[in-house]
Amino acid sequence: MEREVIRKILVEWQSIIPSIPLIERPVEYEAKGNYVYVGIRQCGKSYLLYQRIQQLLREGHSIEEIVYVSFDDERIRTIKAEDLDLILQAHQSLYSCAPILFLDEIQQIEGWEYFARRMANEKISTYITGSNAKMLSREIATTLGGRYWIKQVHPYSLSEHLTATGITLQKHWQLSRQQAMVAKHFDDYFHFGGFPELVHIKAKRAWMTGIYNNIFFSDIVVRHNVRNEEALRMTIHRLAMNVKQPIAYNRIANLIKSTGVSTNATSVMHFVCHLKESCLVFSINNYATKFVEKETLKKHYFEDNGLLALFLTDAETALLENICAIHLYRQYQEDVYFYNRNIEVDFFLPAQRAAFQVCYDLSDATTVERETQALEKLSQVVPLEHLCIITRDEERVITLTSGQAISVVPVWKWLLSADSISIKSTSAMH
């Protein structure tokens, strides 16, 4: 690996990055912190590096301090961990100032974490991206030893999607013509998801298919040396088909075997672990069950609605629950559960004393009774302060005989609320 190639790369990016147009995303940083950005392919990790660089330049840092290297660059495809110091050497041969490192898609370099640890030890500010959660494995976390802050990066939220399409919400947008505009743009977001690059692409489904194929082959099959591709493919399809209810690994294995494809529950469990590492899916546990069942009987959701929609034909109700799961999980992570023991509640946040049902349409009285009774019964088992039913378009307040109020909220309004728990008061006002 020649240092001259890296010198050329550094200078090229120094001329490019300051003028890259960006939709700025809300990210907070600690002073002199080092960061690892992790997330699914094409969710915007590289653009967050560009954004951070532009922020630093506005704060008075010199472009000469900026050292940006993308390990997707074919000119350095043979670089190894022992060659990474050439990046520092190349910068030192060009400038006398201390570098600020931005290392994009570094997970392709085996042993990168040791270099990253040394940079932190030497007080060299470092920002790193990677496409999968394997970067956060126990081994790597031990090596980095608390020297880095982890930033989980996701596709756009609805608010970010609207900003990217040129819509700036007014203070009281719910009471203006903007509400109709939001509802219209939400339909696109609901069915095709929030990948940043997708905003201005017309052939959205074809683009999403390409992303999925890249994840399937590069991040799962190749990375984990999966030999039974058909069983893996069918596992993903089964997770998509059952996105609204918990499903056990042995149940998935039996369904796959019934088609003549050989597999077992252990293999399915490994497949799901691979899917999580690639950030394709995430899982939530049943709050009201034993440890063993928590590990084997989960609800599985997709990281983006556009990915889930690839596998379903009549997808509306599944997409509604999936988008709610995405929103809650991004805010509360492992504190999000479902509740299933004589009572079925879609989402339960014990720390926030909140519970949510997801129902596409509440026009039928029987449906209203079923959804409200589930929330009422759970509130009798666990003290709850916030009860909510998320719908596609309906909005009202239902008062229980106990005096508790259940907010019925359109999903697009709920996704745009500053706090998903406090939506009750704003819903009641309007």
Tokens 């050439």 belong to: 86
Q: Is residue 127 part of a domain?
A: yes
Whole-angstrom distance, CA of residue 264 vs CA of residue 269: 9
Residue 213 to residues 21, 188, 216, 219, 319, Cα–Cα distance (Å): 28, 22, 5, 9, 20
- Statement to judge: residues 231 and 169 lie in one domain: no
Closest CA to 100 of 152, 54, 41, 145: 54
Judged against a pLDDT cut of 80, whether residue 425 lies above it is answered with no
- Statement to judge: residues 18 and 77 lie in one domain: yes
Per the CB < 8 A criterion, the answer to whether 37 and 130 are in contact is yes
Q: Is residue 240 part of a domain?
A: yes
- First-to-last alpha carbon distance for the chain, in angstroms, is 63
Per the CB < 8 A criterion, the answer to whether 410 and 320 are in contact is no
- Statement to judge: residues 210 and 305 lie in one domain: yes
Mean pLDDT calculated for residue range 298-315: 95
- Statement to judge: residues 97 and 9 lie in one domain: yes
Q: How confident is the model at residue 280 (pLDDT cuts 50, 70, 90)?
A: very high
Global pTM reads 0.90
Per the CB < 8 A criterion, the answer to whether 249 and 293 are in contact is no
pLDDT at 419: 52
CATH code for the domain in which residue 254 is found: 1.10.10.10
| 23-78 per-position pLDDT tens digit | 889 888 988 889 999 899 999 999 999 999 999 999 999 999 999 999 989 999 88
- Statement to judge: residues 261 and 359 lie in one domain: no
- Statement to judge: residues 51 and 141 lie in one domain: yes
Which of 85, 120, 152 is at the close of a domain? 152
pLDDT at 40: 92
| 257-268 per-position pLDDT tens digit | 999 999 999 999
pLDDT at 171: 73
Q: How confident is the model at residue 422 (pLDDT cuts 50, 70, 90)?
A: very low
Judged against a pLDDT cut of 50, whether residue 424 lies above it is answered with no
Per the CB < 8 A criterion, the answer to whether 10 and 46 are in contact is no
Q: Is residue 325 part of a domain?
A: no
Mean pLDDT calculated for residue range 125-146: 76
Amino acid (one-letter) located at 195: F
pLDDT at 186: 92
| 178-199 per-position pLDDT tens digit | 777 788 889 999 999 999 999 9
Cβ neighbours of residue 227 under 8 Å, at least 6 residues apart? none
Share of the chain above pLDDT 90, in %: 71
Q: Is residue 321 part of a domain?
A: no
Mean pLDDT calculated for residue range 208-218: 95
Q: Is residue 147 part of a domain?
A: yes
- Statement to judge: residues 207 and 260 lie in one domain: yes
- Statement to judge: residues 268 and 286 lie in one domain: yes
pLDDT at 373: 95
| 100-135 per-position pLDDT tens digit | 999 999 988 889 999 999 999 999 999 999 876 567
Whole-angstrom distance, CA of residue 97 vs CA of residue 195: 37
Judged against a pLDDT cut of 80, whether residue 421 lies above it is answered with no
Q: How confident is the model at residue 430 (pLDDT cuts 50, 70, 90)?
A: very low
Q: How confident is the model at residue 423 (pLDDT cuts 50, 70, 90)?
A: very low
Expressed as residue numbers, the domain containing 363 is 331-429
Q: Is residue 318 part of a domain?
A: no
Whole-angstrom distance, CA of residue 86 vs CA of residue 227: 37
Q: Is residue 37 part of a domain?
A: yes
Q: How confident is the model at residue 348 (pLDDT cuts 50, 70, 90)?
A: very high
Which range among 94-103, 104-113, 136-145, 237-246 shows the weakest confidence by mean pLDDT? 136-145
Mean pLDDT calculated for residue range 238-243: 96
What DSSP line would sit under 307-343, residue for residue? HHHTT-SS-HHHHHHHHHHHHHHHHHGGG-EEEESSS
| 354-382 per-position pLDDT tens digit | 999 999 999 999 999 999 999 999 999 99
- Statement to judge: residues 287 and 382 lie in one domain: no
- Statement to judge: residues 61 and 11 lie in one domain: yes
Give the chain's domain count. 4
Judged against a pLDDT cut of 60, whether residue 420 lies above it is answered with no
| Run of H or E residues at 215 | none
Question: How large is the C-alpha radius of gyration of the chain?
Answer: 24
Q: Is residue 233 part of a domain?
A: yes
- Statement to judge: residues 23 and 162 lie in one domain: no
Between 276 and 291, the more confident residue is 276
- Statement to judge: residues 211 and 176 lie in one domain: no
Burial class of residue 314 in the structure, from the number of CB atoms within 10 Å of its CB (0-12 exposed, 13-18 middle, 19+ buried): exposed
Beta strand 35-38 pairing with 149-152: parallel
Judged against a pLDDT cut of 80, whether residue 321 lies above it is answered with yes
